[in-house]
Structures are given as structure tokens and as C-alpha cells.
Amino acid sequence: MVPETAAGRLYMFEDWHELIRWVLTTHASLWLGAFIVLLLLSGMLRERRNPSASAAWLIFMLAAPYVGVPLYLALGTRKLKSLARQKQRLFAGRTSLTHRDSALRNLLAHLGVPDPTTATGFNLHTDAQSAYVRLMALLDGAKQNIDIEIFILAGDTTGQSLINQLARCAQRGVRVRLLLDGVGSFLLSRKHLQPLVLAGGEAAWFIPVLHRPLRGRTNLRNHRKQVLIDQEKVWSGGRNLADEYLQGENETHWYDLSFDLEGPAAIDYQTLFEADWAFANKIRPGVVEKLLVSPDSSPPSHEVQILPAGPDMDEDVLEQTLITLIRGAEQRILITTPYFIPTETLQTLLSNSARSGIQVDLLLPEKSNHRIADYVRNRFLRELHKAGVNIYTLSDGMLHAKAWAIDDRYAVIGSANADLRSLRLNFELMTLLYGQQDVIAVRDWVDGHLSHAHLWRPPPRNPLRETIEGLLMLLSFQL
């Protein structure tokens, strides 16, 4: 047997020409691999991210490039620059830097968020039945267009009834477009969509699990939830399209918030959908820019502002908005969320607000559907509890609502959880409410649940628990 040495390997080649080709190919592959690693590292270092995260990726890609590079391509990027530039163009005509009446409006204008606009109606859905009834009524009344962007469409009773309803709408001439997240609706088989497609409806998947690397990152999920009717009505909030979200809470005990509105405000939601639909279907950005004209409407009575957040915005819009709201709070900060793993900045601001005498109330489910998130949150809750934050847990059901209310002046509701994934990775859609009547409606809903919630008490501290919390924090972006 020929020994496995450099000299021994010469016998593997028939002549010197073959050996030279092998050497050149090997060296070319090494140089190409090194160039790719350096290119990715250059892009990573240009991004604004936590230094510890950058250091971890740097070590990983240099130490194990064959594993580190593919993982970075799948999971490492937070922002999609081309999408961000497209959003800037689409929203440019509805963003003004002349607003100087508040720090919040001025901030959002500089972040590229469309100005506040008006709605002729705003209805908060405080239970599953009212949300479902209103959704089906809107679909039934559609005349020209139905556009749906959703994280989870299930193949259960609710999901199937919605598909059948959409198919009936398509059969009577309504254009129906359905945009599903590739991971959130991964379990939905194509056959469930067949009635809609056969009726002439369209369906697309936002960043499917298996896709070309340049078509976005698998780690960047579209968590937005909106149903648009005839470019003038919007149904949105925190609910997905599945039994637990839209069937009676007496059966499933899932508590959530959604809303519908109509009027000029709908144009910004439609613009956001058009951009996401174009990305999912590989349509040139120029097609999306042929925008709509705001429909005529009765006198407005509600002031709202769309808050798109995620990889398609240059800045972390939601986090920056919450920072400004917390800093401006004078009396009370009210938060409800299913998962609580905040950024360091939000954690510090909430703690300092409580220490300064502002009432900070946080409502969480006692046990959520993500047990790892429940375990990790204790690290943050202990600090908030020590600072004087009132932490409540709801034990009679799964609380899935995402809402912030500040001094009865502002409320933020929609799809984003108070966790690192929603704040830093997901495509999210929140709505900022300015009208006191609408803000109070959100506050009263949360207060109603606070009345039968339990005060949270810190579990006993021990080195093992804290070590496990620290390890699980490494997964916090994936929760």
C-alpha cells in the first residue's frame, strides 16, 4: 500500500500535468474561499450590531468556514438594503420632515415612516368572535381586491373556511392575493390552497424555507398580519388565521387583539403589502411604485400611523419608537406581550421609569406556547421587579396580544412581541394610535385582564438556574 504522504499521493496522478491541475485547482479554491469569507466579514463589520455577536460570527467563520459561511448566509444578516431603499422610495411622498409638534413625529419622519393619517372608523376586536365576524364581513363585502399578508394560515377549520370564502370571492371577480410566510405557514400543504388557486386567486410564499441565498435570509420571517379590502379597508393586529386566534376563547383560551379601520389611512398599509408582494414574487420595484389614489371618504375621526419594522427599514423603527415613548412617559406605561426578552436599552429605560415614580405595568401569560422564552424572561423580570415594575401573569389562557399604552396619549398595537426576534429580525407591522378614545380602549382591555391576573414573584435564584438562563439567551433570536 502506498503511504498517505505528499510523495505517496503522486501515484494517484497519471502524469505531471494532472498533478499541476490538481494543485492549481486546490489553491484556487482556497483563495476563492478566503475571498468569500473576507467579503462576508467586510459586510458584517459595516453593519451596526452587538460587538459580541460580530465577534462570535468572526471566530466561527474563520475557525470553521465550511460551516460558518453557510450559516451566516442563512442566519447572519439583519437588514436587506435593497428592500430598505425600495421602502424609502415608496413612502417618500407621504413622509414629511416639517412636523415639529412632537419629538415622536419628528423622529418617525426622519426614520422614513409615513406621516400620521386619518381613518373614518376604527374598531378594536377584544375577543375572537368579534374579530372573526368582522373579518368575514369585510371579505364578503369586497368588490375589487382582497390582499392578505399573514404569518400563520392553518389548515384547520378556520383556515379552510377562509380559503373557501376567498375562493368564492375570486369566482365573483374579486382579485385575491394571499402572501404567506415560508416558516409560519410551513405546515400548510399546497392542496389546502387549491380551491383558491382554481378559482383564479394568487398565492405566494415570503422567503420559503428552501430558497436562493440572495432572495433573503431564512432567519428573517414575515410576521406581519393584515387583510386589505378594496384599497380602503384594513383588518390587522396580532391574530393569525387559525382556530386558536379566531374561535371562541371559551374553548381555546387564547386572548388577542386586532382591529379594523377604513379611509385614507389604508393607503399606507396597501403600499407596504405591494412592496412585500413584489419581493416575494420577484417583481421589479418599479412595478410597485405605480401607487394608488386615496379614496374619497367621510370626515375623519381617528388619527393613526403605520409602523413598519424589520429588515426592509434602514433603522430599527419599532425599538426607536418605544424608546421615545418610554422617555416621554409621565404617569403610566402599560405593556402586554406573550414573550418578554427586551433589548438592553428597553430594559434599562423601563427600570429607570419605575424607579423615577412612573407606574409601569407588564402583563404576560403565566405559561406561553414557547416554554424556553418563559424560562429566559425570568432574567429580565427579576431586574424589573427589583426596580418596582408591576409584573402580572394571566393563568387562565394564552395571552397573545401585543400592545403598549403610554399616559392615555399613545398606544401601539400589532404583530410585534417585546422580544429580540420581533425587535431586531422579523418583518413586523404595528400601528400607532393618537386618538385618546382609541388609546383608552386599548388600556381598558389590558386593565380588564389585569383585574384577574396574579402578581409575579421571582423564582428562587441559584447558580444552575442562572447558568441555564444564560445558555438559553444564546437562542433568544430564534425563539
Query: DSSP letters along 6-23, please?
Result: TTGGGGGSSSHHHHHHHH
Closest-CA residue to 284 (of 89, 151, 73): 89
Strand order in the sheet with 145-150: 121-125, 258-262, 233-237, 226-229, 145-150, 175-181, 202-206
Closest-CA residue to 417 (of 232, 260, 290, 256): 256
Q: Are 33 and 64 in contact (CB under 8 A)?
A: no
Cα dihedral 79/344/319/103 (nearest 10): -130
Q: Residues 6 or more apart from 374 whose CB is under 8 A from it? A: 367, 368
Residue 161 C-beta-side C-alpha neighbours within 13 Å: 14
Res. 239: pLDDT tops 60: yes
Closest-CA residue to 275 (of 292, 294, 295): 292
What would the pLDDT profile of 87-137 be if each residue is shown by its tens digit?
777 776 666 665 555 889 889 988 989 999 999 889 999 999 999 999 999
pLDDT of residue 120: 87
Estimate to the nearest angstrom the gap between the alpha carbon of 3 and the chain centroid: 57
Q: Are 242 and 405 in contact (CB under 8 A)?
A: no
Q: Are 104 and 325 in contact (CB under 8 A)?
A: yes
Q: Work out the pLDDT band at 228, boundaries 50, 70, 90.
A: very high
pLDDT of residue 187: 86
SS3 115: coil
pLDDT of residue 283: 81
83-87, 257-261, 386-390, range with the lowest pLDDT: 83-87
Res. 75: pLDDT tops 80: no
Q: Residues 6 or more apart from 187 whose CB is under 8 A from it? A: 154, 155
Among residues of the chain, what percentage have pLDDT more than 70?
73
Q: Residues 6 or more apart from 143 whose CB is under 8 A from it? A: 174, 230
- CA dist 207 and 426 (Å) reads 12
pLDDT of residue 13: 52
Among residues of the chain, what percentage have pLDDT more than 90?
57
Closest-CA residue to 331 (of 452, 455, 443): 443
Q: Residues 6 or more apart from 368 whose CB is under 8 A from it? A: 338, 339, 374, 398, 399
3-state secondary structure 131-164: HHHHHHHHHHCCCCEEEEEECCECCCHHHHHHHH
Relative to beta strand 226-229, strand 233-237 is antiparallel
pLDDT: is 236 or 472 the higher one? 236
pLDDT: is 343 or 300 the higher one? 343
Q: Work out the pLDDT band at 145, boundaries 50, 70, 90.
A: very high
Work out whether the CA dihedral 172, 278, 120, 298 comes out positive or negative.
negative
Q: Are 318 and 422 in contact (CB under 8 A)?
A: yes
How big is the CA angle at 342 (ends 214 and 117), to the nearest 5 degrees? 75
203-212, 277-286, 469-478, range with the lowest pLDDT: 469-478
Q: What would the mean pLDDT of 190-207 be, rounded to a whole number?
A: 93
What would the pLDDT profile of 392-430 be if each residue is shown by its tens digit?
999 988 999 999 999 999 999 999 999 999 998 899 999
- If you compute the radius of gyration of the chain from its CA atoms, what whole number of angstroms results? 25
Closest-CA residue to 331 (of 278, 444, 407): 407
pLDDT: is 81 or 107 the higher one? 107
What value does the mean pLDDT of the chain take?
A: 84
Q: Are 176 and 146 in contact (CB under 8 A)?
A: yes
Kindly provide the b/e burial profile for residues 96-117, where b requires at least 16 CB atoms within 10 angstroms of the residue's own CB: eeebeeeebbebbbebbbbbbb
Closest-CA residue to 368 (of 411, 334, 336, 346): 336
- pTM of the shown model: 0.84
pLDDT of residue 85: 73
Q: Work out the pLDDT band at 86, boundaries 50, 70, 90.
A: confident
Q: What would the mean pLDDT of 227-238 be, rounded to a whole number?
A: 96
Strands (E), 182-285: 202-206, 226-229, 233-237, 254-255, 258-262
Relative to beta strand 175-181, strand 202-206 is parallel
Q: Could you tell me which residues are beta bridge partners of residue 303?
A: 118
Helices (H), 343-435: 344-355, 371-387, 420-424
Kindly provide the b/e burial profile for residues 286-307, where b requires at least 16 CB atoms within 10 angstroms of the residue's own CB: eebbeeeebeebeeeebbbbbb
pLDDT of residue 80: 73
